């Protein structure tokens, strides 16, 4: 359980969020594809990038890439938090004016048991105010990709499923370039400055300072649940994985040499 403390249409609550936080991760009675007892949020989001790539990741294993390693290192530097016990986290959420935390989210959505850990959830007055996911890229930060937006929407749905009041929740996707030269103290301050910019309802200054784009959209459960309805047929074994029709995705894919659906055909010299 990670936490850092900082100063500073309503949904029907079906569960007690404190009990949900204390609850051990319960596996589903259903076994999903690849013998999984639960499905990660990142895998469902990945289906909307390329479902065949998700399948390769489970069948062949994840292939390390330089881009993944750089992104992971930057995440660890920017999102470093203090570890606390669950009861301490609950106390901070209830008592502190503002708390930033990262913890396991879990719940049943449609026919799937889904789990995931968002980069940061910011609580104000006991309720989640912002859910932030940081994405790094070597390309254009101004593009909002469907799979990335779905990932934060699924996290919001899990928060609500766990019993949190999400009536005032906003979902935030912060995209920044991997090659942005940031000093160590800038990396440590970045998350706090993004949060303060959200509180002021203006992100222009922090975007310019850190070379990033911050997308903010209200939480709506229907969008994520509709996406799960399509995605779950793959996990329930009702259909084969669907390949992308975008050649550029195949060109960048680390599985392209093995994939029978790859649209990328290298030019022979």
Specify if 158 maps to a domain: yes
* Euclidean distance between CA atoms 269 and 262, whole angstroms: 20
pLDDT at 188: 83
What share of the chain has pLDDT > 70, as a percent? 91
> pLDDT value at position 5?
44
Residue 11 above 90 pLDDT?
A: no
Is the per-residue pLDDT at 149 higher than 90? yes
Sign of CA dihedral 41, 45, 51, 56: negative
Could you give the residue ranges of the DSSP H alpha helices within the chain?
Answer: 17-22, 41-59, 66-78, 86-95, 146-161, 184-199, 204-210, 221-235, 247-252
Domain housing 162: 2-252
Q: Is residue 24 part of a domain?
A: yes
Quick check: 128 pLDDT over 70?
yes
Q: Is 202 helix (H, G, I), strand (E, B) or coil?
A: coil
Q: End-to-end alpha-carbon separation of the chain, Å?
A: 53
Q: Does residue 142 carry a pLDDT above 50?
A: yes
**Tell me, what's the pLDDT at 6?**
45
Cβ atoms of 132 and 191 within 8 Å: the answer is yes
**Under 8 Å between Cβ of 82 and 103:** no
Higher pLDDT, 74 or 252: 252
Is the per-residue pLDDT at 131 higher than 80?
A: yes
CATH code of the domain covering residue 49: 3.90.320
* pLDDT at 43 (0 to 100): 97
Average pLDDT, stretch 29-44? 93
Judged by average pLDDT, the poorest of 70-84, 118-132, 219-233, 248-262 is 70-84
Render the burial of 112-148: b for 16+ CB within 10 Å, e for the rest. bbbbbebbbbbbbeeebbbbbbbbbbeeebeeeeeeb
Mean of per-residue pLDDT scores for the chain: 89
Task: Report if residue 269 sits inside a domain.
Answer: no
**Over 60: is that where the pLDDT of 165 sits?**
yes
Mean pLDDT of 201-206: 93
- Residue 154: the pLDDT is 97
Mind listing the pLDDT tens digit for each residue in 178-198? 877 788 888 889 999 999 999
For residue 144, being part of any structural domain is answered with yes
Mean pLDDT of 207-215: 93
| Number of domains making up the chain | 1
Interval 237-260 mean pLDDT: 95
Q: CA 150 from chain center: how many Å?
A: 8
Residue-wise pLDDT for 90-115, tens only, equals: 999 999 999 999 999 999 999 999 99
User: Is residue 266 in some structural domain?
Assistant: no
Q: Is residue 258 part of a domain?
A: no
pLDDT at 216 over 60: yes
């Amino acid at each position: 359980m990670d936490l850092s403390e900082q100063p500073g249409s309503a949904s029907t609550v079906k569960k007690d969020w404190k009990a949900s936080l204390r609850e051990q991760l319960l596996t589903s009675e259903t076994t999903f594809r690849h013998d999984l007892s639960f499905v990660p949020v990142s895998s469902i989001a990945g289906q909307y990038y390329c479902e065949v790539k998700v399948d390769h990741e489970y069948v062949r294993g994840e292939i390390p890439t330089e881009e993944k390693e750089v992104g992971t290192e930057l995440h660890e530097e920017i999102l470093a938090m203090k570890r606390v016990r669950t009861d301490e986290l609950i106390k901070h959420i209830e008592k502190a004016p503002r708390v930033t935390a990262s913890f396991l989210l879990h719940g049943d959505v449609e026919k799937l048991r889904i789990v995931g850990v968002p980069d940061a959830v910011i609580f104000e007055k006991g309720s989640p105010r912002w859910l932030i996911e940081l994405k790094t890229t070597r390309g254009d930060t101004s593009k909002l990709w469907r799979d990335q937006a779905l990932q934060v929407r699924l996290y919001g749905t899990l928060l609500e499923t766990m019993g949190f009041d999400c009536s005032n929740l906003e979902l935030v996707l912060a995209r920044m370039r991997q090659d942005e030269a940031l000093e160590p103290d800038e990396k440590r301050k970045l998350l706090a400055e993004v949060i303060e910019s959200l509180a002021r309802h203006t992100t222009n200054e922090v975007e310019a300072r850190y070379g990033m784009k911050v997308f903010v959209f209200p939480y709506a459960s229907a969008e994520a649940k509709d996406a799960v309805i399509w995605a779950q047929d793959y996990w329930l074994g009702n259909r084969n994985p669907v390949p992308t029709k975008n050649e550029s995705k195949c060109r960048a894919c680390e599985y392209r040499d093995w994939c029978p659906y790859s649209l990328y055909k290298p030019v022979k010299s």
